[in-house]
Chain A
Amino acid sequence: MGKPSLLKEVLKWFIGRPVTIQYPYEETPIENRFRGRHFADLNKCTGCSLCAIECPADAITMEKLPEEVSVPKNPRRIYPVISYGKCVYCYRCVTVCPFDAYITTNDYKITGPARLYSRDYSLQSVGGGAQ
């Protein structure tokens, strides 16, 4: 590579903005269809457990619904709880669900001790759970 083209490159980046993103202060650009945090919408979930059976990472467990929560159609009163630490975000549960009960987001900020499970997100969909 000759020197003039190198000089051009140096000048270009001397004036231009840096490529790196100052992450906590600046948002990383992310696609709308990025496979991020997802949880069951209890208005649609029937507790059929198909997602728990089909999950390749065994990240979904079926739990009993709390007494005070009322759901439209869930005779066994169980709902899926995703462990985000185990989940590999393949969205198999989303596509395999016969009732399209999963709500998908492109939220990728899932580290940290709070909200490691989808329990609260799911319960909020029917007006329950911790806010």
Chain B
Amino acid sequence: MAVDKVIEIPVSLEVPIGPQHPALHEPVMLKVYAEGEEVVKVEVNTGYNHRGIEKLVEKNSFYRNIFIVSRVCGICNIVHSNAYVRAVEQVMGIEPPGRAKYLRVLAMELERIHSHMIINAIMAEVLGYDTLFMYIMRDREKVMKAKEILTGNRVLGDYLMVGGVRRDLSEVDRERIKDVLIKLEPEVRKYIRVFEEDETIGKRLRGVGVVKPKDVTLHGLVGPTARGSGVNIDARREGYDAYGEVPFNIIVRSDMDSWSRMMVRWHETIESINMCKYVLENLPSDGPAVPDETKLPRKFPVGEAFTRVEAPRGELTYYVMSDGRQNPWRVKIRTPSFNNIINSGFSYIGYTIADVPVILTSYDPCISCMERAIVTDLRRGEKKYVRFKDLNRGLK
């Protein structure tokens, strides 16, 4: 029998990257479809780290929740509690004194420094540059020490409370933190030079994972990811806490690639160091930063509040609703990684499989921040993602 037709099937390979993978530090699954080495489609699957924090928050009192929302994300715990505490303060009509506001800014900026340093270290590790990873992590430890001096713990600060902060800063500790920051700055400038001039880093990062400004606005990307593409958005501009009084520049770069995003983070680190120094030098003493916790009001008025904070990864928003009882009626959290990771599937297309971890790391993923509900219908065996709007109306 003679052959009269040839059927040619284009081979596309499905490569699951994650949820456990040496190149990923977070439990996320990227289902990569590739033709040869080239990526043609990426599906971002999450759901490996869902803990039901929003429901847990509804079951606990307003004051206990400050510590629960801190545990949404390990690295950016102070910004989470800051957004929540400011929302509760708005509901209750409490205004913290200036000293507390400055100390909050100091804690948040120290957090931004160590968050940006760890993601740059991880980027160096993903590139195979383990020596640089070790060096950056060594210097990050100095910031962790500064945070320990300020808050009492290296990572989970638990520093905020309604109406102020939980511990004051003494003169001796102020000098020690300033000393840490003065020692840190030349190190950070050295790493900026390494990222700018090293050939390997340039080859792996430049021109990889290009996100155009149009894509940023179309997919709602926030934070350094947006600023690395030339979009000038920053929630700190709103001037919450003491950000209206502390001078700072918003770093925007227009290279649009992974390298640009990492450089935005490095220059923001320098900016944060300067902000911390300014706060330490100009700390007002207008009132007690630490209110008496036993005398805080026990009754909560009916009301709602919406706050936003610039977390290290982008804009974080909290919506808190009170119906006059001890527990909040609803707390809605929208984290920056939720926008940046789930919506970023488009940006992998056209690059090679080896570039996928690099592009993902350049978005600074924080998976525990962004887990949302998946509803599984056990009778029909169906799975579907549910939006909050629909979840509020009730499940069908």
Contact = CB atoms under 8 A, between A and B. Distances in A.
Interface of A: 1-2, 5, 19, 31, 33-35, 54-57, 88-92, 95-98
Interface in B138-192: 138, 141, 148-149, 152-153, 156, 158, 161, 166-167, 190
Contacts, number: 58
Interface in B182-213: 190, 193-194, 197-198
B349 interface: no
Contacts of B61: 54
A6 B209 CA distance: 30
A30 B128 CA distance: 32
Q: How large is the interface on B (under 10, 10 to 19, 20 to 34, 35 or more residues)?
A: 20 to 34
Contacts of A56: 60, 64-68
Contact of A1 (B63, B141, B153, B198): B198
A12 to B, nearest CB: 12
B294 A33 contact: no
19 contacts: A1-B193, A33-B149, A33-B152, A35-B158, A54-B61, A55-B64, A56-B67, A56-B68, A88-B71, A88-B156, A89-B153, A89-B156, A89-B158, A90-B156, A90-B158, A92-B158, A92-B293, A95-B161, A95-B293
Q: Which 4 A-B pairs have the closest CB atoms?
A: A56-B67, A56-B64, A90-B158, A95-B293
Nearest to B166: A95
A13 to B, nearest CB: 10
B293 A35 contact: no
Contacts of B153: 34-35, 89
A92 B152 contact: no
A1 to B, nearest CB: 5
Interface of chain B, main secondary structure: helix
B138 A91 contact: no
A54 B63 contact: yes
B67 A31 contact: no
B197 A90 contact: no
Contacts of A89: 153, 156, 158
Contact of A34 (B64, B65, B148, B166): B148
Centre residue among A2, A35, A54, A55 by max chain B CB count within 10 A: A35
Interface of B: 60-61, 63-68, 71, 138, 141, 148-149, 152-153, 156, 158, 161, 166-167, 190, 193-194, 197-198, 293-294
Interface of chain A, main secondary structure: loop
Nearest to B156: A88
A130 B149 CA distance: 34
A33 B167 contact: yes
Given A33-B167, A90-B158, A95-B293, A1 B152 contact: no
Contacts of A92: 63-64, 67, 158, 293
A1 B198 CA distance: 6
B64 A1 contact: no
Given A1-B194, A33-B167, A98-B294, A91 B68 contact: no
A96 B198 CA distance: 53
Contacts of B198: 1
Nearest to A5: B190
B164 to A, nearest CB: 11
A57 B66 CA distance: 12
A34 B158 CA distance: 12
A47 to B, nearest CB: 16
A97 B292 CA distance: 11
A71 B170 CA distance: 36
Contacts of A55: 64
Contacts of B156: 88-90
A31 B149 contact: yes
Contacts of A57: 67
Contacts of A2: 197
